[in-house]
Amino acid sequence: MDVTDTIELEVAERSQISEARRRILKLSVDYGLNQNEQDRVSLVVTELGTNLIKHSPRGGRFLVQGLLNSEAQGLEIFSLDNGPGMDVKSCLLDGFSTTETLGNGLGAAKRNSDEFDIYSQEGIGSAVKVRFWNKGIKPKQFGGGISVPKPGEDFSGDKWCIASTSEGVYCMLVDGLGHGFEANEASNLARRRFKENLHLPPGECLKIIHLSLRGSRGGVGAVAKIDFNNGKLAYCGLGNIAGIYISSDKRKHMTSLNGTLGYEARKFMEISMPWSENCTLMMHSDGIASAADTALETMENSPALMAAWIYHNYGKKTDDATVLIFKGAHAQ
C-alpha cells in the first residue's frame, strides 16, 4: 500500500473546523470517495473537530493522508489533542458528555467510518483514527506510518513503505538530505528501488538504493525484513535513521552505520533479532525526538494511530518528520 505525504491542519478555533472540513472533502474526491462516502467524511470531521475545540484549551490538529493500493483508494484522518484525556469506553456511548452537550460525537464518528481507533492518556491528550475506503473495500494493512513535511514545505523529503511478499514483510524509511523538492525526489527514487528489490536481503536492497541515489541529493535510510516463518527480523541502516525493536522482554536501538546513501557507504551491516507476535518495530527520521519509543509502552493500538500519536507528541517541527511502525505476526 502506498501512502501520500501527511497534511497537517491546525484546529484552535471553531472557524478552522470548516476550513479543515473543506480541505479534507477535496482530498476525499481526489481519492475516489463517492457522494455518500463524502457525506460521512464531512460528518465525522465536524464531530471530531468540535471535540478538539470543546475538550482541549489549545484545540488540536488533524493529520490527513491518502491510501492507495491495487484494491482500493481511501482516506485516513487522525484527530489529535493535548487535552485532559478521557474515559474511552464511556465517551463512545451516545448521550455521554462532559460539556453538557448531546454527547453523540465519538459514537457518531465510529458508526460513520469504515475503520476506527482511539487512544487517550490522562493528563496527556487523546488521539482518534478514522479511515474511509471507496467501494467499501478494506484492504489488508501491514503496519502504518506518517510522513509530515517541515512547516512551510509542500513536500516531505522523507518516505516510508511497507510491502508484503510470500517471504514476509519489508519495511523501508529514507530521509532525503535537507528538505523540499530535491529531497523528495531522492526519497521517491529510493522507494521505487526498494519496491523493485523485495527479493533481496535488507543489506543488499539498501546497497542498490545507495547506488541509485548517486547524483541525487542523497539521503539516509534503513530497510528491514520480517520473516514470520523463521521468526526473524533482519535490519540494515545507513545514517541517522532510528530503528527500535521491542519484544515482551527486550528493547533494542538497532545500530545504523555512518554514511550517506548516494555518496559514502563503506559497509552494509545487517542486524538479526527474533520475531514473534509480541514484537514491535519502529523506525523514524531525525524529525522525531529520540525519546519517542517510550510512548509505545502504554499503547495497544493500530500502528498508524501509534505513529500519529508519536509525531504529535515527539515531532520536532523543525524538519520533515516520519514514523513507521509494524507490530505482531499478521496483517494489521
157-184 residue pLDDT tens? 999 999 998 889 999 999 999 989 999 9
Q: Are residues 154 and 297 in the same domain?
A: yes
Ranges in the chain, pLDDT < 70: 87, 90-91, 93-104, 136-137, 140, 330-332
**Rounded Cα gap, residues 313 and 124, in angstroms:** 9
Domain ends where: 136, 171, 194? 136
Q: Are residues 10 and 97 in the same domain?
A: yes
Question: What pLDDT is attached to residue 91?
Answer: 65
The answer to the question of residue 332 being in a domain is no
Domain ends where: 82, 116, 136? 136
User: Residue 289 CB: number of other CB atoms within 10 A?
Assistant: 16
Nearest 5°: CA angle at 98, between 96 and 103? 35
Question: What pLDDT is attached to residue 55?
Answer: 80
Q: Are residues 197 and 273 in the same domain?
A: yes
Question: What pLDDT is attached to residue 93?
Answer: 63
Domain ends where: 136, 152, 168? 136
The answer to the question of residue 293 being in a domain is yes
Where in the sequence is the domain holding 194, given as residue range(s)? 144-327
Q: How many domains does the chain have?
A: 2
Question: What pLDDT is attached to residue 300?
Answer: 87
Q: Are residues 150 and 282 in the same domain?
A: yes
Q: Are residues 99 and 164 in the same domain?
A: no
Question: What pLDDT is attached to residue 99?
Answer: 44
Q: Are residues 149 and 233 in the same domain?
A: yes
Question: What pLDDT is attached to residue 101?
Answer: 41
Question: What pLDDT is attached to residue 96?
Answer: 42
Q: Are residues 98 and 185 in the same domain?
A: no
Question: What pLDDT is attached to residue 136?
Answer: 67
- Return the CATH number at 104: 3.30.565.10
